[in-house]
Structure 1
Amino acid sequence: MARQPNGRKSTDSRFLKKILTDTEIDQTGCSADPEAVLWSFWAAKEAVYKVLLKKNGHTAFIPNRWSVRYRDFQDLCEGDFALRSGCREGEVGIPGSGNVYIRLFTYPSYVHCIASDKSESLNRIVARVDRLPRQENSLRTDPSLFVRSKLLRCLARHFHLAARDMNIVREPQKDGLGPPLLYIAGVRSAIDLSISHDGCYVAYAYLDRSCRIFHKAMLDRAVAQIPFSLT
């Protein structure tokens, strides 16, 4: 997820060259809403990076070499219309690694992107965006704790479980914390999660395997995870 800032980063040529390809820079400059186009590219690349981390364990983040292709960008005027309409799909080409598939949701104050290494998995990702509560008595809500709480409640409703029996953990890795993992009754589950926050917004998602009731057998069965993410 990317919160659209008040400043106009779309006119910062040094910034654009760091994160966009030459084609994307041209598309941003030709758009009627260059800020929205810029952050749609950035959100997609951040989401794809999380997918690659889950899939490969380690991936260099080189956004200006990753090519975002939204299907409606064949015609820039049509692309601008799709930005206003709110939802687009496409893929991000990674040199030497193929494509990662994306779905972008555009709103006036933020853009929200989900990604998966399998195009058919996009329809099975359950994703939500929430705002942090308003600050009261100068107390600031911790966005990391807030997004975990919202995701656990969502999972509890979906799988008919008690939220108190679930825990989200990010385990230490060589280069920092790993992706979020869901533990149920102390046992690591195969449910794939993603969380993100920026400014006053938090986003969370999980892969719906169309199981309305969670059975303990799911914990014991080796289920191949389909890497996905959002930003």
Structure 2
Amino acid sequence: MLRVDVSKQLGEFAIEAAFASEGRVTGLFGASGAGKTSLINMIAGLLRPDRGIIAIDGETLDDTADGVHIPAHRRRIGYVFQDARLFPHLDIRQNLDYGRRMNRLAEDPAQHARVTDLLDIGHLLDRRPGRLSGGERQRVALGRALLAQPRLLLLDEPMGSLDEERKVEILPYLVRLRDEANVPMVYVSHDSGEMRQLATQVVMLRRGRVIAFGGPEMLPGTASPA
């Protein structure tokens, strides 16, 4: 379970958000400027809440009342950004291995094979990022995050910089991650179509506040059941 109950003042913008989710994919949905990225940055440990608690599966990561703040590098949380942020001077095999090495994890050839097969990136291993399409780079970024063995995966609009053709290409892989990777995810998007296809629970944000929490059927544009 992911439990979030935080407040944060960012200039004139304030976040006051509370929810608890057991979904395989928790969607953070809202317009640009709703506070989605600031909220996942707090979950990641990149931004400290002014007040509140963040906990995963009963382990407290932030508790301002008790002075608890686990640093980002100790949270075992993977983060995939809108731009893949691969290292251009490393080939794909080396990029994939980066998270494992940074976390001082033992090599696991079976896990490596599972992830490369899941994301269909085995044929890309000897290439450099500059020779990949946008969709391929995002799949490699997902693989790198998974190979660091996270207990939670944060995805901040991972299709936001892709054209429609590349979005159609990568969406099935995100669905496979949800169904097969056995890693809970927080997925940020302002696209209700993406959210309906991926999220199992949705946190709807507006101006830093949670205005609704429930299943994807509550998203705008979702037809009501007959």
Relative to the length of structure 1, the TM-score reads 0.23
Q: Give the number of the structure with larger relative contact order, counting CA–CA contacts within 8 Å between residues 6 or more apart.
A: 2
TM-score of the two chains, using structure 2 as the length reference = 0.23
